[in-house]
């Protein structure tokens, strides 16, 4: 008998959440390997195309496919009581899932996507509801939270946990052999406008605040044919915007992103590409910038973090100010809109004393592009999170929350002052937006 598998992307419990091209890509990739070997259903709490939110203007997408989630205010968890912000549950209401389960026949397995470590409360909620309605269904977890918080995740009540990138044990558990050539199972959505692609695995850098070097092995390029098949599938399904989830999309560009984008141009594929997970400015040459614009890149997020050489050298030397300036010049000459180029800078990093954050913000502004403060989340297993133990207990994943850490470390007023300064700098450049 063909096994029945339910895929669930849980709701988010957090101070803030926005649909910045969020899709449960790890889970959809795993399901893709089992295409036509199992019957799949999807319940994505974060799907704004669901009839519950689809007709409401406030949840409509912007021109690039991003938008607000439905949310409900809930009390702050005890350990975050001191944070003067409203805690919320983002995503479809709980009773919609309960109704869904009551109308469906039983499932053999439920796969649940886990994402940020500090979002585990949503996973807990789904496990509770599945257990209540379907006590015999086997619950499988995979993704970032279970990889980074091993022992914490073991106490959540799942039957099987897939950690890291080795998914071999899962095939044995579900009793199905995978087809590794298959793209992610995007057709499981009734209606889809945003998709995700990943051309590479891992990253060659070792930034002290990031978990990627430890979780992924050596940097690798994924089989290009599979990425192109996935792109074609997304286009057939009517997707208009595609976000890359790569950690180092532009590394070894001549073997990865360049042949891919050349093929996009050759096949005359018309979609808009985005890089929310940040590009490394060091690898943007004038030719690559030109190809990216020609192939359909619309927004460019660049990981900058700080203009301080001392800070960059201490945390991994991923990029320096002159490299950012050069990349911006190339992108603008290639035709990218300056207002669609954004440089991220970490807010609340524990070495802020040498980060020169305000000077960095002004430097980004002087390049004529947007700045965006990315709140620092201490990530378990990284050198910087060990240092953060003097401010927060790392064993409770809620304390990795990105809104909370800068407030605990810098204070509410200073955090607000810096965010306000960032807003004013951006407004000065793009006052009409």
Q: Please report, as ranges, the residues that interact with ligand SF4 according to CB under 6 A.
A: 203, 205-207, 210, 212-213, 247-248, 303, 316, 318
Indicate which single residue of 30, 101, 158, 367 sits in contact with ligand B12 (rule: CB under 6 A): 30
* Nearest to ligand B12 of 282, 402 (CB atom): 402
Question: Which helix or strand (DSSP H or E) is residue 5 part of?
Answer: strand 4-9
Sign of the CA dihedral with 19 first, then 20, 21, and 26 last? negative
Q: Which residues, 6 or more positions from 212, have their beta carbon under 8 angstroms from its beta carbon?
A: 202, 203, 247
At closest approach, how far in Å is the CB of 147 from ligand SF4?
A: 15
At closest approach, how far in Å is the CB of 265 from ligand B12?
A: 25
Residue 316 near which of ligand SF4, ligand B12, none (CB within 5-8 Å, type-dependent): ligand SF4
* Nearest to ligand B12 of 22, 284 (CB atom): 22
* Nearest to ligand B12 of 22, 407 (CB atom): 22
Written as six digits, the tokens of 113 are 């996507």
Written as six digits, the tokens of 188 are 């499981």
Q: Tokens 């990981």 correspond to what residue?
A: 303
Q: Give the β-pairing of 220-221 and 370-375.
A: unpaired
Indicate which single residue of 247, 248, 305, 394 sits in contact with ligand B12 (rule: CB under 6 A): 247
* Nearest to ligand B12 of 247, 331 (CB atom): 247
* Nearest to ligand B12 of 212, 269 (CB atom): 212
Written as six digits, the tokens of 114 are 């886990």
The answer to whether residue 374 forms part of the interface with ligand B12 (CB under 6 A) is yes
Contact predicate 39/63, CB 8 Å: no
Residue 140 near which of ligand B12, ligand SF4, none (CB within 5-8 Å, type-dependent): ligand B12
* Nearest to ligand SF4 of 24, 213 (CB atom): 213
Indicate which single residue of 50, 121, 274, 402 sits in contact with ligand B12 (rule: CB under 6 A): 402
Written as six digits, the tokens of 317 are 């030397």
Contact predicate 260/271, CB 8 Å: no
- Please tell me whether residue 274 adopts helix, strand or coil conformation: strand
* Nearest to ligand SF4 of 8, 210 (CB atom): 210
Q: Hey, which residues between 75 and 104 contact ligand B12 (CB under 6 A)?
A: none
- Please tell me whether residue 145 adopts helix, strand or coil conformation: helix
Contact pattern from residue 262 through residue 281 relative to ligand B12, giving x for each residue in contact according to CB under 6 A and a dash for the rest: --------------xx----
* Nearest to ligand SF4 of 212, 372 (CB atom): 212
Q: Which residues, 6 or more positions from 15, have their beta carbon under 8 angstroms from its beta carbon?
A: 83, 85, 86, 87, 88, 401, 403, 404
The answer to whether residue 212 forms part of the interface with ligand B12 (CB under 6 A) is yes
At closest approach, how far in Å is the CB of 316 from ligand SF4?
A: 6
Residue 402 near which of ligand SF4, ligand B12, none (CB within 5-8 Å, type-dependent): ligand B12
The answer to whether residue 121 forms part of the interface with ligand B12 (CB under 6 A) is no
* CA gap 299, 410 in Å, rounded: 31
The answer to whether residue 379 forms part of the interface with ligand B12 (CB under 6 A) is yes
Q: Which residues, 6 or more positions from 348, have their beta carbon under 8 angstroms from its beta carbon?
A: 375, 376, 405, 406, 407, 409, 410, 415
Written as six digits, the tokens of 252 are 């070894």
Contact pattern from residue 162 through residue 201 relative to ligand B12, giving x for each residue in contact according to CB under 6 A and a dash for the rest: x--x-x--x---------------------------x---
* CA gap 66, 64 in Å, rounded: 6
Angle between helices 286-295 and 321-334 (to 10 degrees): 50
Indicate which single residue of 80, 92, 116, 228 sits in contact with ligand B12 (rule: CB under 6 A): 116
Contact predicate 60/14, CB 8 Å: no
- The binding site for ligand B12 (CB under 6 A) comprises 17, 20, 22-23, 25-27, 29-30, 111-113, 115-118, 140, 142-144, 162, 165, 167, 170, 198, 210-212, 245, 247, 276-277, 374-375, 377, 379, 400, 402
């Amino acid at each position: 008998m063909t096994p029945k598998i339910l895929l669930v992307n849980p709701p988010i419990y957090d101070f803030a959440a926005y649909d910045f091209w969020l899709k449960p890509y790890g889970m959809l990739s795993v399901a893709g390997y089992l295409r036509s070997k199992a019957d799949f259903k999807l319940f994505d709490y974060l799907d704004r195309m669901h009839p519950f939110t689809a007709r409401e203007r406030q949840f409509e997408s912007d021109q690039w496919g991003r938008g607000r989630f439905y949310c409900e205010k809930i009390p702050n968890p005890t350990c975050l009581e001191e944070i003067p912000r409203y805690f919320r549950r983002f995503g479809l209401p709980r009773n919609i899932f309960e109704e869904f389960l009551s109308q469906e026949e039983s499932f053999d397995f439920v796969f649940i996507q886990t994402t940020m470590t500090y979002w585990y409360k949503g996973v807990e909620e789904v496990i509770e509801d599945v257990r209540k309605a379907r006590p015999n269904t086997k619950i499988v977890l995979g993704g970032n939270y279970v990889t980074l918080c091993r022992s914490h995740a073991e106490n959540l009540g799942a039957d099987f946990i897939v950690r890291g990138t080795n998914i071999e044990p899962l095939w044995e558990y579900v009793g199905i052999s995978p087809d590794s050539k298959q793209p992610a199972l995007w057709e499981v959505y009734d209606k889809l406008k945003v998709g995700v692609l990943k051309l590479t695995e891992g990253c060659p850098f070792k930034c002290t605040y990031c978990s990627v070097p430890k979780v992924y092995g050596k940097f690798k390029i994924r089989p290009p044919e599979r990425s192109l098949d996935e792109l074609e599938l997304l286009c057939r399904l009517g997707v208009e915007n595609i976000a890359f989830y790569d950690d180092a999309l532009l590394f070894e560009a001549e073997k990865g992103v360049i042949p891919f984008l050349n093929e996009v141009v050759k096949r005359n594929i018309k979609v808009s590409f985005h890089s929310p997970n940040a590009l490394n400015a060091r690898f943007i040459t004038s030719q690559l910038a030109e190809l990216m614009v020609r192939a359909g890149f619309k927004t460019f997020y660049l990981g900058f973090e700080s203009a301080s050489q001392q800070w960059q050298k201490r945390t991994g030397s991923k990029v320096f100010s002159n490299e950012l300036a050069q990349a911006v010049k190339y992108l603008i000459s290639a035709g990218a809109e300056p207002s669609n180029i954004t440089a991220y800078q970490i807010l609340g990093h524990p070495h802020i004393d040498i980060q020169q954050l305000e000077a960095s913000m002004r430097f980004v502004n002087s390049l004529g592009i947007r700045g965006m403060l990315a709140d620092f989340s201490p990530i378990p297993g990284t050198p910087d999170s060990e240092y953060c133990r003097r401010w927060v207990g790392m064993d409770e994943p809620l304390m990795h929350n990105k809104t909370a850490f800068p407030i605990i470390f810098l204070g509410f007023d200073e955090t607000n002052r810096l965010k306000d300064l960032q807003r004013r700098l951006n407004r000065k450049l793009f006052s009409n937006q």
